[in-house]
Amino acid sequence: MQVKDIMSRSIKTVSSSTQLNEVVSLMCLYRYSGLPVVDDGKLVGIISEKDVLHRLLPNVDELMSNMSTIDFDSLIKDYSNVINLKVTDLMTTGVASVTPDMHILKAAAIMAGKRFRRIPVTEGDKLVGMLSLGDVHKAIFHKSISSNLSAA
């Protein structure tokens, strides 16, 4: 079974010039953990909740040396400054992807190795779909059920 057989083809994307306040609204309203960033039809990055929240968090060194003096409430107040940025300011570039003709278990192995729950599906630099671990699991489940029924 190949990625193209089970990938999602209807994908919400944003551009690198999109304001983050629009992106975080989509994330919160529709429970997106991240969105592909596409410019001129090409996948250029991913913007995730982790990217947005990371901008608010102190780094590990600050936590270790100044834990008692960090004002976490003031960090939350900085959120309004963060969401006034553009996607390009926070997105992750150099995104890993899989191809439509890849076997679904190879794609799942890549996702597991990188600790991703979802991965873009690309042909060259063009985004053609998204694949989730849930898509892979569901496909294997359905194949297993149909194999068991035909064997009975």
Which tens digit of pLDDT belongs to each residue from 111-136? 999 999 999 999 999 999 999 999 99
Which structural domain, as residue segments, surrounds residue 120? 3-151
How many domains would you assign to the chain?
Answer: 1
DSSP letter assigned to residue 41? T
CATH number where 25 lies:
3.10.580.10
Spatial separation of the C-alpha atoms in residues 121 and 99, rounded to whole Å: 5
pLDDT digits (tens, 9 = 90+) for 38-81: 999 999 999 999 999 888 776 766 666 766 677 778 777 888 88
Condensed to tens digits (0 to 9), the pLDDT of residues 11-22 reads: 999 999 999 999
Cα–Cα distance between 9 and 83 in angstroms, integer? 28
Calpha distance 96→101 (Å, rounded): 16
